[in-house]
Amino acid sequence: MQEYEGIADYAISYGLKQGFDYVEAYLESGGSFSYSRKQGNPNSSYKSKYSGIRLRLIKKGSLYTYSTNIISKERIKEAFKFSGFKGEKVGLSEEKAEKYSYKVKERIKVEDSYESAVKDVEELDKSLNGLAYRSISISLGKYENLFVNSEGSRVYGEIPYISSFILIIVKDANDSRQKLIQLGNTGGYEVFKWEEIRENVEEEINSLKKVLKEGISLSKSQINGIKNVVASSEIIGIAVHESIGHPLEADRVFGREAAQAGTSYLMPSNLGLKIGSKEVNIFDDPTIKNSYGFFLYDEEGVKARKKQLVKKGIQNELLLNREYAKALGTKSNASSRSDFYSNEPIIRMSNTYLEKGKADFEELISEAKNGIYIKSFTEWNIDDTRSFARYQGNEAYIIKNGDIEKPVKNYKLEKSTFDFWSSVYLLGNDFNLYAGTCGKGEPQQGVPVMHGGPSALLKFGGK
């Protein structure tokens, strides 16, 4: 990275001389090792290294992003031939020029852990005998980035990470159940607690087998008749991500993603909308240590902070970059990210969650009295405006007279966003975050995120 710093600085000075209103340069360099196994056998290993530069320029209000892996003065000069276009005129919010450098600490460096990762994955794989199918992949890497702009910001970050996908499938003569588990953290190799991972995977397998063997199927009218739902933190997490985080991205609200990742029930005309019950407080926080969505500065050099998206059921902050902060006459809250140096940074979530409450899990179940406990999901989807979602239960149980009873094979939690969040009645005192890869933009960019919260009792049809 150091060898290219001069090129980034050159880009700023050259761009200003060429009469550009704003110039920023983002250098990124990284490397990773990936390894995968299928059905008990090794599949492939991949070691990679990359670096590149991205310039974002504004001329006469026109926004242009240029990226290349040929980091030379000659190559980047090409970008400054840009002369503007007929179209949107962009302005950026005024922000403090930041000078900061940070590195995420690693007790065990990821680059010293490739052989350990292979061994740990192999051990996990071998412990999963007896499934219809299993595959495991792991990726360990580190990237560093340097952001400089024509306003004097200079921010350097170095972030190691580990991620893994585990697919397990169980079946009997008539049916099958599947689960894709995604894991992800930032930090050294020590952040992956393999004993816990093995226990969790075993628990998932046992649950799939239990539902496969003992699960009952409910009729449509039985499903429609269920009023009280205890949703686990996994269900709450995906709902927070899909029906709160995404629709509160300012670029959606203002129509910039209309042909790509979609629109939103929230519009410039209904900001401050009541979305849920007063129990609902939802945050996005990239500063959570070792989280998969971690960063301390975003890709516009703005200092990251915890944002409250929903406050007592009312939409509070939007996720903002400098462009939309300017449009709203406020400051950016550092939500500008890309998945790779070559793509434009756009407004993204980081770690998004529902604030936990005080109730024990048993209290949620007994308060529900009769209903359903939905512990995990498999398929899920949501409409363009983020108003109508479905979470297909992978593991769900009947609640009868305040006790958890038989597993259910086919429960679907299919509700409007407002019905879902308005029905939040009681929050658990547990809390979990789940790793995910969030897609948006064109070309689609997948950025690491987390989503979660506590278990919660939802009472549909009133208290």
Pick from 17, 19, 46, 305 the residue near another protein by CB under 8 A: 46
Q: Report if residue 114 touches another protein, rule: CB under 8 A.
A: yes
Pick from 20, 22, 64, 297 the residue near another protein by CB under 8 A: 64
Q: Report if residue 437 touches another protein, rule: CB under 8 A.
A: no
Q: Report if residue 429 touches another protein, rule: CB under 8 A.
A: no
* Distance of closest approach, residue 39 Cβ to another protein, in angstroms: 7
Pick from 11, 26, 52, 80 the residue near another protein by CB under 8 A: 52
Q: Which is nearer to another protein, 1 or 288 (CB)?
A: 1
Q: Report if residue 443 touches another protein, rule: CB under 8 A.
A: yes
Peptide bond before residue 268 is cis, with ω within 30 degrees of 0: no
Q: Which is nearer to another protein, 43 or 370 (CB)?
A: 43
Distances (CA, A) of 99 to 84, 150, 151, 195, 302: 30, 13, 11, 40, 10
Span interacting with another protein, options 18-26, 76-84, 146-154, 450-458, rule CB under 8 A: 76-84
Pair 407, 216: CB distance under 8 Å: yes
Rg (CA), the chain: 24
Q: Report if residue 18 touches another protein, rule: CB under 8 A.
A: no
Q: Using CB under 8 A, which residues numbered 274 to 303 contact another protein?
A: none
Distances (CA, A) of 76 to 11, 18, 263, 277, 452: 7, 13, 35, 52, 41
Pick from 200, 277, 290, 378 the residue near another protein by CB under 8 A: 378
Q: Report if residue 112 touches another protein, rule: CB under 8 A.
A: no
| DSSP three-state, residue 431 | coil
Q: Report if residue 353 touches another protein, rule: CB under 8 A.
A: no
Q: Report if residue 273 touches another protein, rule: CB under 8 A.
A: no
Q: Report if residue 324 touches another protein, rule: CB under 8 A.
A: no
Number of residues that bind another protein (CB under 8 A): 86
Pick from 35, 294, 295, 411 the residue near another protein by CB under 8 A: 35
Q: Report if residue 33 touches another protein, rule: CB under 8 A.
A: yes
Pair 367, 428: CB distance under 8 Å: no
Pick from 21, 190, 317, 344 the residue near another protein by CB under 8 A: 344
* Distance of closest approach, residue 378 Cβ to another protein, in angstroms: 5
Q: Are strands 456-459 and 371-382 parallel, antiparallel or unpaired?
A: unpaired
* Distance of closest approach, residue 450 Cβ to another protein, in angstroms: 20
Q: Report if residue 2 touches another protein, rule: CB under 8 A.
A: no
Pick from 1, 18, 414, 432 the residue near another protein by CB under 8 A: 414
* Distance of closest approach, residue 344 Cβ to another protein, in angstroms: 5
* Distance of closest approach, residue 289 Cβ to another protein, in angstroms: 29
**3-class secondary structure per residue, 236-285:** HHHHHHHHHHHHHEHHHHCCCCCCCCCCCCCCHHHCCCECCCCCCCEEEC
CA of residue 65 relative to chain centroid, distance: 24
| DSSP three-state, residue 105 | coil
| DSSP three-state, residue 205 | helix
398-421: b or e for each residue (b if 16 or more CB lie within 10 Å)?
bbeeeebeebbbbbbbebebeebb
Q: Using CB under 8 A, which residues numbered 221 to 240 contact another protein?
A: none
DSSP 8-state code for residue 343: S
CA of residue 421 relative to chain centroid, distance: 20
Q: Using CB under 8 A, which residues numbered 174 to 203 contact another protein?
A: 175-178
* Distance of closest approach, residue 213 Cβ to another protein, in angstroms: 16
CA angle (368 as vertex; 363, 369 as ends), nearest 5? 100
* Distance of closest approach, residue 105 Cβ to another protein, in angstroms: 24
Distance CA 94, CA 133 (A): 54
